[in-house]
Chains A and B, each alone.
Chain A
């Protein structure tokens, strides 16, 4: 049985955070993309069972005896700062299952190796760097290979090298599991997701495989060159510019939407462009994307 969400609605007071989410997810990695505050974390809290006062229903994959249903890596994970990595993972394993000591030990060794934290096993969590801490967080989320793994903004605050490493870990760890990955950083999802859901204003504004999403943007992404920035700003006023850069003395811009200037030429769309076409970011918000 798959993870099935039906008509999920959630409000905080008068603010409607989720306005009817329907989806059915089988095995694989699923990306949830959206700006801060669009409801990704709320949706994850609902799926995880943490938030329980919502409308709609969530059906979970069936678990056999001894199998673990859920692994969660919440936003801003810090763990128990005074525990060592090994103590923390042992504690989490004991909380999740009633497996024997031997099984717990083997599982921890396996996950520490998978997420490259075995050398840190004696270090306290409070002594770890941001990247190391996230890897420990991943290790606990993947303990006993849960059927469903929720990773909420797992790369927030990490440098680019750590983000790439992180993506690789998730790809390696994903076996016969359903992994939900929420982020507002587009590059986190590239090439690893079976399907991507772009959320906006509490609904899924766009969904599909990476290829399908890109295909929908074909013919809508342009590149144009200008002699200087002033000329570019004048020509592209009001256009959705996803990126600007300098090349051979010219200022080049990547624009999503209708042909911005007559000499603009079509280029291959990227996920950033999909995101931009939905959110229409202002110039200052583009760097992060």
Chain B
């Protein structure tokens, strides 16, 4: 693999892309941290930015962190309702009760999204509000589920651990955006590397020498190429994530690792905390990067031309990013779109998704299905690509026939 890695990594465009990904992820992390804002004083107009803003928010959360019980929420509600008007109440909810005000809003928001806390008598049914809010989301989102699917969704909902933990979860929103960027640049560069993997021999006219070494040796060479691509894209992905996470969590850690994702996404049906989503996101991202790389490599093995392989590969790989905006598409298509490798980047959507995929019992949410689909896709593409590349090396003006003899 050493020599295949040499061939791959020493190409100028690969070195450039590798460096660019690391620089972009670092820059995105710095900008993202810098863009985090927090009001310096309640009612004031001055804002703190970056690390200072994280510190300020942490202090605010320190007052209200811990189990979110219905009693606590009632106290918050009555305190908010003691304000003279709605805007003062909103300000109080945000500033004095970070996390809680927003949760109450999500739990009791009406269909038109009107601020309802003033009219609310109590938050005694806070945890029971999830079911009607999920139904409301299904209705307003134009989603269509069968009775059985609805049962499965609510079965998952029941697995969610209560009471929720109120911790400083807000930075996760920014992190998911940064994660999306990092995964997308990794996917794109992985495709760039993959698109010239198998046709490289032709580009340096070594295919004739390689072709004389027999099918077995060529097969070994192709397998080594696959390993080199997997290692390169894997190392790049992990390095870029390390850079991004280092900058991000270095500035705002510790954040709400053990809080349920419902503290930000109230209607999510995942019984997971932020730490679980982070780990699953990382694993999915890795599998998606490999799937993208091997998809481009498969096209390159088939076409033996890097540019068309990259163009077709990128078009197919990134098409779900466009398709997901077409809400008129049937549920089955949208469901499929959400397990395309590129969807790994959209962690927010995956956390919030209500789609369940066929699995004995109550089906499986996309966040569990994505890494499996990506890994299977990557493995399948490797298997086909190596076989195509094995014969592709002999593919010149004419397609070689079946009568092939081993030379050595």
Contacts and interface: CB of A to CB of B under 8 A. Distances in A.
A53 B400 contact: yes
A51 B211 CA distance: 9
Given A49-B214, A50-B211, A95-B217, A78 B204 contact: yes
Contacts of A76: 205
A83 B3 CA distance: 9
Interface string B188-216: 00000000000000001110111111100
Contact of B7 (A68, A72, A82, A95): A82
B394 interface: yes
Given A45-B208, A77-B205, A94-B3, A68 B408 contact: yes
Contact of A83 (B6, B213, B396, B403): B6
A82 B10 contact: yes
B213 A74 contact: no
Interface in B355-408: 394, 396-398, 400-401, 403-405, 407-408
Contact of B204 (A60, A68, A81): A81
B11 interface: yes
Contacts of B213: 95-96
A92 B209 CA distance: 9
Determine the interface band of chain A, counting residues with CB < 8 A from chain B.
20 to 34
Contact of A50 (B7, B11, B208, B221): B208
Nearest to A68: B408
Contacts of B401: 52-53
A169 B7 CA distance: 29
A49 B211 contact: yes
Contacts of A63: 408
Nearest to B221: A95
Interface in A53-94: 53, 60, 63, 68-70, 72, 74, 76-83, 87, 90-92, 94
A45 B407 CA distance: 12
A92 B206 CA distance: 11
A12 interface: yes
Contacts of B3: 83, 87, 90-91, 94
Interface of B: 3, 6-7, 10-11, 204-206, 208-214, 217, 221, 394, 396-398, 400-401, 403-405, 407-408
Given A50-B208, A60-B407, A12 B397 contact: yes
B352 to A, nearest CB: 46
A48 interface: yes
A72 B217 contact: no
Contacts of A12: 397-398
B205 A74 contact: yes
A52 B403 contact: yes
Contacts of B404: 52
A270 B397 CA distance: 38
A94 B213 CA distance: 11
A82 B211 contact: no
Contacts of A52: 394, 400-401, 403-405
A94 B205 CA distance: 19
Contacts of A50: 208, 211-212, 394
Chain A interface, DSSP helix/strand/loop, else mixed? loop
Contact of A53 (B10, B221, B403, B407): B403
A198 B400 CA distance: 28
Residue of B7, B205, B221, B408 with highest tally of chain A CB at under 10 A: B408
A53 B398 CA distance: 9
Interface of A: 12, 45, 48-53, 60, 63, 68-70, 72, 74, 76-83, 87, 90-92, 94-96, 140
> Which of B3, B11, B208, B214 has the most A CB atoms < 10 Å from its CB?
B208
B122 to A, nearest CB: 71
Contacts of B209: 72, 74, 92, 140
Contacts of A78: 204-205
Contacts of A70: 212, 407-408
13 contacts: A12-B397, A45-B208, A48-B208, A48-B212, A49-B212, A52-B401, A53-B398, A53-B401, A70-B407, A72-B209, A72-B212, A76-B205, A83-B3
A80 B7 contact: yes
A146 to B, nearest CB: 10
Contacts of A140: 209
A98 to B, nearest CB: 10
Contact of B206 (A49, A53, A80, A96): A80
A80 B204 contact: yes
A48 B398 CA distance: 17
B211 A79 contact: no
Contacts of B400: 51-53
B205 A82 contact: no
A48 to B, nearest CB: 4
Contacts of B408: 63, 68-70
Contacts of A77: 205
Nearest to A41: B208
B39 to A, nearest CB: 54
A47 to B, nearest CB: 9
Contacts of A80: 6-7, 204, 206
A282 B213 CA distance: 41
A217 to B, nearest CB: 35
A88 to B, nearest CB: 9
A72 B398 contact: no
Which 7 A-B residue pairings sit nearest by Cβ, starting from the closest?
A: A82-B10, A53-B401, A49-B407, A50-B211, A74-B208, A48-B212, A91-B3
A70 B401 CA distance: 22
Nearest to A48: B212
A196 B56 CA distance: 88
Contacts of A95: 210, 213, 217, 221
A49 B400 CA distance: 11
A243 B377 CA distance: 66
Contacts of A45: 208
B355 to A, nearest CB: 46
Contact of A72 (B11, B204, B208, B394): B208
A92 B401 CA distance: 27
